[in-house]
Structures are given as structure tokens and as C-alpha cells.
Chain A
Amino acid sequence: MDAFTVHTGRIAVYDADQVDTDRIIPARFLSRVERSGYGELLFKDVRAEDFPLDRPDAAGASVLVVGTNFGCGSSREHAVWAIQQAGYRAVIGRRTAETAGFSDIFRSNAGNCGLCLVDLDEEAHAALVAAGSGAEATVDLERQEVRLGDKALPFTMNPGTREQLLAGLDLIGTTLVHESAIGAKEASWDSFRPPDGAVERRQPSE
């Protein structure tokens, strides 16, 4: 996984709330078995002539600005892949008193793929929306701030996720540091495993 530290790029503003992963990438595009080729399918069914991300000022943007509870619904990681493969390195959402910027599963998936998610409070978020698509911004994960012109807009991120992004960690390798603890859990807890013989095993060559 690529590390994310500091990224400067133009923003594209799609200031909609409750954007679910079906809207980000419709289910009928999930039949492919590869991890690539999803960029052109991003927001496929809602792209029309006036779709914000298709306007000239959004061309070449690498920071996507969205509303609240972005990525709700299905756990499909394809939504994160589509955003990354369309050229975005970071997504900035709006956190309100009631709702976070992103849904929980989408947030995990993004962290696992190296896509940086930033929750800004409503006032800071409004500054980005006012600047509009095409404005240049810097997402600085080391200092946990978004810089826009002369403004520095602070944000916070879960320390574990931040560390994961900054280092571009291979998660499986990181987890296997705990191998002895995993083995100890397995030795003391049998998971109420199914009775022997409940399932037949099949051979690869069959």
C-alpha cells in the first residue's frame, strides 16, 4: 500500500449528503474479479452533463470534497478503488453534530487502501465549498490540517489509521506480529467449531 503523508492538488466539490456506495459504483459493475478498471465507473449512473466532477474546473482534481455520511450502505471496497482509480488521493467530508463525514465500513476500507479521509467541521468544510472546484488545497496528514490559501483547517484522525496511512503498512504483516497471541487465543477458545465430518473437503484438481 502506498503511504500518504502530504498531498497538494486541486479540489473537486460534490457537496451531496448520504452518498451511498451504490451511487459511487452501482452493483452491476461488481462482477469483475480484478482490482483495477473501476475509475471510469465512478458515479456512473449519476453522471450527466452538469455533474460537478465533469465540469471543466474539476478536471485533474485529486482531492474530492463531499458532504456527510459519505460511503454509507454496502461494504463494497470497489467504491474506494473507483475513487482512487479516478485520480483522487484524499476525500474531505463534513462532520456535523449528528453525523460523521464518512460511514464506518467505508472509512475502514479507505484506510486499508491508502485513501486519506478527512472529517472537517461545518465551518471549515464551507470554506472549501466556497473556494470551489479547481482551487488548490494541501492535505497534510503529518500536521493533521488542510491548507487552503492562507487558512489552515485542523482535523483529527484515529491514531491507528493515521499511522497505517503514514507508513503505508501491509496490514497482514503488521497483524502477524501478534502471532503468539493469536495462537494462544486459538489454544484457549475453540470457536464452537462445527462437528467433524459436517463438511466434505474438495480437491483442487476435481
Chain B
Amino acid sequence: MATTLFEKVWDAHKVADLPGGGALLYIDRHLVHEVTSPQAFDGLREAGRTVRRPDLTFATVDHNVPTDGRPIDGATLSGKQLSALDRNCREFGVPLFGYDDPRQGIVHIIGPQLGLTLPGLTIVCGDSHTSTHGAFGALAFGIGTTEVEHVLATQTLRQSTKPKTLAVETTGRLAPGVTAKDVILAIIRKLGAGGGAGYVVEYRGEAVRALPMSGRMTICNMSIEMGARAGMIAPDDTTLEFVAAEDRPFAPKGEAFARLEAYSRGLKSDEGATFDRVETLDVDSLTPQVSWGTTPAMTVDIDGAVPEPRDGSEERALRYMGLEPGVRMSELRVDTVFIGSCTNARLEDLREAAAVARGRKVAEGVRALVVPGSASVREQAEREGLDGVFKAAGFEWHRAGCSMCLGMNGDVVKPGQRSASTSNRPYEGRQGPGSRTHLVSPVTAVATAVSGTFTDPRTLV
């Protein structure tokens, strides 16, 4: 019987059927960070349980680490949370890429970089953006803390229902200056912030195939922003070349890689496989996208205007964002520009952003910062001189972490201020109480930083 990519990975990992049509799934990689794990380790300790597969479990610090060079203050709640992870990892034998480790970084950036993320695996993490890893054809779920404890103890995840399948078929070619970020914002805009609930999305078609792994990760990363259970892209040569790169110490080598390659070649939806639902997007005429409201679905073309509200949520969003219908995005001044997050802080993102920033200056009165996704992205960017380009243009250059995406570590947008951000959620208060976030691609972020208002990056080239 013809099956989809999702069904193949699901079936390969099914340990048992559960009542109600769900299943118990075996988990191949469990990524752990400081914020959603302390209560899970406490639960293990109280029950006298151990971590079943410490060899498949990996921890790092990202949400709560300072990125401005401040030392970690052990007296603060953040400092205590970071040391709790260190203590828990030692006690339970889990490897930790800590604050001063060259492998530290945002969990969804380092997983692929280190070779932990592989085609056809099941991957979980106590973070909703775990969907990122689906770019490799992995089945990757964000989970809650009780589930973190469950996976630590059993190396399995209970799925109470089997997700439905949704194919997003892409056609056409992206114009220069239009990026994977614009593709996923356009998809979410079309399907709605809850439009993917209950589905695993497979992104297909020529526009996705043409993307490098960085762009594919950006797309899968934001699957959760339409409520999808996961996002996936079938592995191909691009995927395997990425995994085979020399600097992936945790990826299989030699005979093990050959087995992985053979497994990967079968990981695609069969001809004639049926999806529960199919949506399409043609990217030929796609323009840079910018969100205007408080969900990622409230998005317009960058040369567009704030729309008339259609419901109570949009009315509330207009009030919160301090906007009137009809105002052109190009008229809106920004106070802060943030380039970072698990969505857009890979080396490729920084290269594209630096190419626009080179020889230009951040507009007067705008605070702009670049926060690389990992310590090694930072190091590689510095080797290429990108930090110098950003600093010369007036950007701050930070250490790796989640930073201003969610404002846990002191990097925040001030109340009432408007932010152009390469992150993933323009929610009320997400970047700090009263912050007004607009989501954009890295190149749009730089163009906006330079001109001070939302700007189509293609007008600068």
C-alpha cells in the first residue's frame, strides 16, 4: 500500500497501539534544555527512576543564558535554573553542552549542526519549535514537562491520536530577496494560526526542493505556528550531504552512514499515497512578508497595508499593536531589530543578512542586534568577518542563545516599542511586556534596520 513519509517514520517507531487510535512511539533523540526539564528530573528522583537512554539524550542551555557577555549570576533564578541543569545532567549521566562549551547553542540549531538530527528519526524536546528537525525527514515533536519525564524514563512518547496528513505542494521559484521565511509566513497566512491543528505537514514541490537545509529548517520550524503537530520534508541529496559533512561528530560514519543512507532513500511519500488534505502555494510572485498583528497568520506583503479587522482577535491585535487599518507597513517606524532565534540564526541567515548590511548603517534611533544561533555559528561567522560587517553597520554582536525571541534572559523590547524580528511569534508580550513584534526574514530585518521603517530588501540591492 502506498504510504506517506510521515506514516513510514511513524510505523518504524511504533512500539504498541494505544486505545483511541494512538500509539506508543520509540524516541531516537531527546534534546533537553534548562527551562522545561528541572521538574522532570525531580519527578524521576522522587520515583527512584533513571534515564533509560542517556546515550540518546543531550542537553544544552539556550533560553535563559545571557548573550551580552554578562557572567551568569548564580544568585538569580536564571542562574539557579542553569546550575540545576548541570547538576541533573551529572547525576543522571546526560551529556551537557554548557554555557562555555563550544557546542552550546539553541537546541534546534545545534542538533543538526552536531549530527544529532538525522533523516527518519523520532526527535523530541520540551520546546514547541522541535518541528525544526522535520527538515531532515525526521518526525519531531515539541513536548511538555510531564512528557519530558516520560521520555527520560521510558525512551517512548505516548501519542493519544495518530495525526492526519497535510501536503503543502509548492511550485515556482523564489525571486532574489524572497526567502524561506517568506514562504512559511505565506503558508501560515493562508492556513491560519490554528489551521494545521491535528496534522503532520509534509512540505513538497520544487520551491522546497530548491532550498538548502537552512531554509528547509526555517520552514519546518514554524509548522507549530499554524498549530501543526509536526512538519516534514523528505530527505534527498541535499539532506545527506549536510549529514555527511565532516564537522558533525554525532552523525554516523562509515558503515553506519551507509545504512542511514539506504534507509533515507526510502523515506518519501510513495506515488499514489493519499494525504488527508492538500494545500498549494506558488512562490513565483511571492514578495517579502511582514506580520502586522499578534499571531503569525496576521501577515501582509511588505508593500501592503494593515487590513480591516475581521473579528475580535484582529480588533484586539490592532489595539495592542497601536495600528489603524490602512496604514502602509512602509510607513511604520521600528525601534528595535532582532536577528536571531531557532527560526533564523544559522550561518546562512547571517551571511544573507551581512550581505545587505555591508557598507550600510543602522538608522538613527534604532537598536539592532544579531544573536547567532550557536557558539559555533558565532565562531564561523567571525572567521568569515561577518561580525565586523555587522558592527561597522551599527549592529550589536552577541553570544548564542534564544535571547530576544522570548525575552527570558534580559534581552527585551521595551513597552510600546516596535520590533522587526526574525523570530517566530509576534504574540502580546513575547519579546517583553508591551512589546510590538513584526516577523520578517533576515534580509528584510537588515533593510528595515537601515531605513528605520519596514523596507523591501530588494529596493536596496
Q: Could you show 16 A-B contacts with beta carbons less than 8 Å apart?
A: A20-B425, A27-B63, A72-B194, A74-B406, A77-B144, A99-B197, A111-B160, A112-B144, A112-B146, A160-B160, A161-B20, A164-B160, A172-B153, A192-B28, A201-B95, A202-B90
Shortest Cβ gap from B148 to chain A (Å): 9
Instruction: Decide if B158 touches A105 in the complex (CB within 8 Å).
Output: no
A103 CB contacts on chain B under 8 angstroms: 194, 197, 227
Q: Give bound CA distance, A203 to B94, whole Å.
A: 10
Of B24, B81, B256, which one neighbours A31 at CB under 8 angstroms? Answer: B81
Question: Given known contacts A16-B313, A46-B428, A105-B224, what 20 new A-B pairs fall within 8 Å (CB)?
Answer: A18-B295, A22-B425, A22-B430, A31-B76, A32-B77, A33-B81, A33-B84, A46-B429, A73-B225, A75-B143, A104-B198, A159-B20, A160-B158, A171-B146, A171-B150, A172-B49, A181-B24, A194-B116, A199-B250, A200-B95
Q: How extensive is the interface on chain B, given as a class? A: 35 or more
Instruction: Decide if B146 touches A77 in the complex (CB within 8 Å).
Output: yes
Count how many pairs of residues, one from A and one from B, have CB atoms less than 8 Å apart in the complex. Answer: 230
B128 CB contacts on chain A under 8 angstroms: 73-75, 105
B16 within 8 A of A: yes
B19 within 8 A of A: yes
A64 within 8 A of B: no
Instruction: Decide if B15 touches A203 in the complex (CB within 8 Å).
Output: no
A112 CB contacts on chain B under 8 angstroms: 144, 146-147, 150
B142-180 interface mask toward A, CB cutoff 8 Å, 1 = contact, 0 = none? 111111011001111010110000000000000000000
B192 CB contacts on chain A under 8 angstroms: 98-99
Of B91, B146, B428, which one neighbours A109 at CB under 8 angstroms? Answer: B146
A178-196 interface mask toward B, CB cutoff 8 Å, 1 = contact, 0 = none? 1001100110010111110
Given A75-B126, A75-B128, A113-B146, A23 and B24 contact (CB-CB distance below 8 Å): no
Instruction: Decide if B407 touches A28 in the complex (CB within 8 Å).
Output: yes
B307 within 8 A of A: no
Q: Which 7 A-B pairs have the closest CB atoms?
A: A109-B144, A69-B194, A160-B20, A77-B144, A33-B38, A159-B20, A112-B146
Interface size of A by CB at 8 A reads 67
Residues 317-336 of B at the A interface (beta carbon under 8 Å): none
A80 within 8 A of B: yes
Q: Give bound CA distance, A100 to B229, whole Å.
A: 13
* Most B C-beta atoms less than 10 A away, residue of A111, A164, A199: A199
A64-83 interface mask toward B, CB cutoff 8 Å, 1 = contact, 0 = none? 00001100111111101000
Instruction: Decide if B252 touches A192 in the complex (CB within 8 Å).
Output: yes
Of B53, B126, B194, which one neighbours A98 at CB under 8 angstroms? Answer: B194
B387 within 8 A of A: no
Residues 80-118 of A at the B interface (beta carbon under 8 Å): 80, 98-100, 103-105, 108-109, 111-113
Given A23-B427, A73-B427, A182 and B408 contact (CB-CB distance below 8 Å): no
Residues 285-337 of B at the A interface (beta carbon under 8 Å): 294-295, 311-313, 316
Of A76, A195, A206, which one neighbours B253 at CB under 8 angstroms? Answer: A195
Q: Give bound CA distance, A35 to B63, whole Å.
A: 18
Residues 106-147 of A at the B interface (beta carbon under 8 Å): 108-109, 111-113
Interface residues of A (CB under 8 A from B): 16-18, 20, 22-23, 26-28, 30-35, 45-46, 68-69, 72-78, 80, 98-100, 103-105, 108-109, 111-113, 158-161, 163-164, 171-172, 175-176, 178, 181-182, 185-186, 189, 191-195, 198-204, 206
B193 within 8 A of A: yes
A28 CB contacts on chain B under 8 angstroms: 407-408
B460 within 8 A of A: no
Given A181-B16, A194-B55, A23 and B154 contact (CB-CB distance below 8 Å): no
A34 CB contacts on chain B under 8 angstroms: 38-39
Of A17, A31, A193, which one neighbours B64 at CB under 8 angstroms? Answer: A31
Closest to A205 in B: B90
B273 CB contacts on chain A under 8 angstroms: none
Shortest Cβ gap from A193 to chain B (Å): 6
B176-205 interface mask toward A, CB cutoff 8 Å, 1 = contact, 0 = none? 000000000000000011110110000000
Instruction: Decide if B126 touches A191 in the complex (CB within 8 Å).
Output: no
B249 within 8 A of A: yes
B26 within 8 A of A: yes
Q: Give bound CA distance, A76 to B128, whole Å.
A: 8
Shortest Cβ gap from A126 to chain B (Å): 14
Given A18-B194, A185-B15, A192 and B121 contact (CB-CB distance below 8 Å): yes
Instruction: Decide if B429 touches A45 in the complex (CB within 8 Å).
Output: yes
B35 CB contacts on chain A under 8 angstroms: 30-31, 76
Q: Give bound CA distance, A191 to B256, whole Å.
A: 11
B22-39 interface mask toward A, CB cutoff 8 Å, 1 = contact, 0 = none? 101010110000011011
